[in-house]
Amino acid sequence: MFKRLKKAYIAIGVLLLILGVVGGYLSANTSRLKPSAQNHLDEQIRNKHLFCTEQDCLYYNSETGATEGFAVLKGYYKEYNEKAWGTGSTCDSLVVTGGSDELINNFKDLISMGNSVNRYDENNNLLINLDMTKLDLALKQKMLLSSVLNPVELGVLRETGAGREAPVCGSFIKILYVK
Burial class from Cβ neighbours inside 10 Å (0-12, 13-18, 19+) for residue 97 reads middle
Average pLDDT over residues 86-95: 87
Domain around 174: 66-178
Residue 164 lies in a domain: yes
Residue 52 lies in a domain: no
Say what the alpha-carbon torsion angle 141, 143, 147, 152 is, to the nearest 10 degrees: 120
Residue 59 lies in a domain: no
pLDDT score of 130 more than 90: yes
Q: Verify that 26 and 71 share a domain, yes or no.
A: no
Q: Verify that 122 and 157 share a domain, yes or no.
A: yes
pTM for this model (two decimals) = 0.69
Question: Distance of CA 49 to CAs 6, 45, 99, 156, Å?
Answer: 23, 9, 20, 19
Q: Verify that 41 and 70 share a domain, yes or no.
A: no
Q: Verify that 36 and 120 share a domain, yes or no.
A: no
Q: Verify that 41 and 74 share a domain, yes or no.
A: no
CA–CA gap between residue 79 and residue 160 (Å, rounded): 23
Residue 101 lies in a domain: yes
The count of domains in the chain is 2
Residue 38 lies in a domain: yes
Q: Verify that 98 and 160 share a domain, yes or no.
A: yes
Position with higher pLDDT, 27 vs 174: 174
The answer to whether residues 176 and 155 touch, using CB atoms and an 8 Å cutoff, is yes
Residue 14 lies in a domain: yes
pLDDT (tens digit, 9 = 90+) per residue, 19-38? 443 344 334 443 433 454 44
Q: Verify that 83 and 112 share a domain, yes or no.
A: yes
Predicted confidence at residue 21, as pLDDT, reads 35
Position with higher pLDDT, 88 vs 149: 149
Position with higher pLDDT, 16 vs 157: 157
Predicted confidence at residue 2, as pLDDT, reads 46
CA–CA gap between residue 3 and residue 11 (Å, rounded): 12
Q: Verify that 70 and 42 share a domain, yes or no.
A: no
Q: Verify that 83 and 171 share a domain, yes or no.
A: yes
CA–CA gap between residue 157 and residue 11 (Å, rounded): 12
pLDDT (tens digit, 9 = 90+) per residue, 35-70? 544 444 445 444 555 668 888 888 887 777 778 899
Predicted confidence at residue 169, as pLDDT, reads 86
Asked which of 4-8, 36-40, 129-133 is least confident by mean pLDDT, the reply is 36-40
